[in-house]
A and B are shown apart, each in its own frame.
Chain A
Amino acid sequence: MALSRDEIYKKVQGVLVDALSVDEEEVTPTAVIRDDLGAESIDFLDISFRLEKAFNIKIPSGEMMPENLASDPTLVQNGRLTDAGLTELKKRMPFSDFTEFEKDPEVEKMSKLFTVNMLVNFIESKVNIPA
C-alpha cells in the first residue's frame, strides 16, 4: 500500500529523532542532516539501517549517499565538481534539490544536499514505485 508523503515524513522524522537524539521540532523539512542535526559519518549508516527497518526496504550501498565520486579526477578537480561530476551527482541523487549547490559545487558543500526533504524524497521513490 502506498504511503502518503506526510506518513513518510513522520516516519523519517522518528528515525532521525532516534538516530541523532534530536528533538522532533528540530527535524524540519529543510534541516541539513549534518550541519543542523549534528550527524557524523557513522550516523548515516545508522539512519540507513533504521530507514530499512521502518519502511521494510533495502538500501544498497551508495544508493542513498553516492560513493567514490571524489576519487575520480574527471568528476572532481581542485575540490570542486566538474560539469561531468555535477551531471553524475544529479543522476545518482535524483531526489535532491541542487538549486543552491550547483551555483558553487564544492565537494565540501555536498553534505548540504542531505536534508530531511531529500530523505523523504528518497524514501518516497523507494516505497511508492509506480505499478
Chain B
Amino acid sequence: MRWIWIDKFIEFTPRTSATAVKCVTLAEEHLHDLYPAFPIVPHSLIVEGMAQTAGILVGEARQFKEKVILAKIGRATFHRLVRPGDTIVYKAKIDQLADHGASISGVVEIAGDPPNIVAEIELMFSHIDQNISGVKFPEHNFVFTEQFTELLKTYRVSAPVMLSEGGTPPKSKDLAGA
C-alpha cells in the first residue's frame, strides 16, 4: 500500500494555499480497523492527509529542494467523523515560511452544499537540513523522491493551477534533489 492520503489537488497557489481532495471508499482496509462494525477514517489519517497537502505546498515554495517533514501538530480540533462515501477536502494555507521551516493552518471539510467542517489543523514543517540543532541528514532528498515526481505528474494533471510558478513544471532531477 502506498502512503498517499490525497487523490488530487483542485487548487494550488504557490507559496500561499492548496486544496486537495480524497474520496473515501468502503474498500479501504484501514476503515475497518478502528471500530469493525462502524467504519470511519481515523483522525490520525486525516491529519496525515492535511500534512501531505500542506507538505507539498511547503515543498513547492522552495522548488522541492528542501527536505520537508512534519515536525509538530500545533492543534487538531475535530468536529465530526468521516465515513465511507464522503469526499474529504483539505484546505491548507501557509501562515509563515522561513529558512528553517513553515507553519500552516488548515481546514478539513466534507464536500457538500454547504460543506461540513471536519477539523481545524495547525501544523509545523521543518526544512530538516536547516534544523536549529545542527543534526545532519543524508544528502539525497528522501522526501521528494522519484516516486513523488511521478505522483506529482498525476497531481499536475488534476490541478487547475500549475504546481510551479509560470506553469513550468519542475524537472524530475530537480524534484529528486539531484
Contact = CB atoms under 8 A, between A and B. Distances in A.
Interface of A: 19, 41-46, 48-49, 52-53, 61, 65, 67, 70-71
B99 A61 contact: yes
B151 interface: no
**Which of B74, B95, B103, B132 gathers most chain A CB within 10 Å?**
B132
Contact of A41 (B95, B96, B98, B132): B132
A131 to B, nearest CB: 28
B134 A49 contact: no
A124 B25 CA distance: 54
Contacts of B124: 42, 45-46, 49
Given A41-B133, A45-B126, A61 B100 contact: yes
Tell me if A's interface is mostly helix, strand, loop or mixed.
Answer: helix
A70 B71 CA distance: 24
Contacts of B134: 70-71
B72 interface: yes
B72 A43 contact: yes
B49 interface: no
Given A44-B132, A49-B96, 7 more contacts: A41-B131, A41-B132, A42-B131, A42-B132, A45-B124, A45-B132, A53-B95
Contacts of B133: 41
Interface string B85-129: 000000000011011110100000000000000000000101000
Contacts of A41: 131-133
Contacts of A48: 98
Nearest to B72: A42
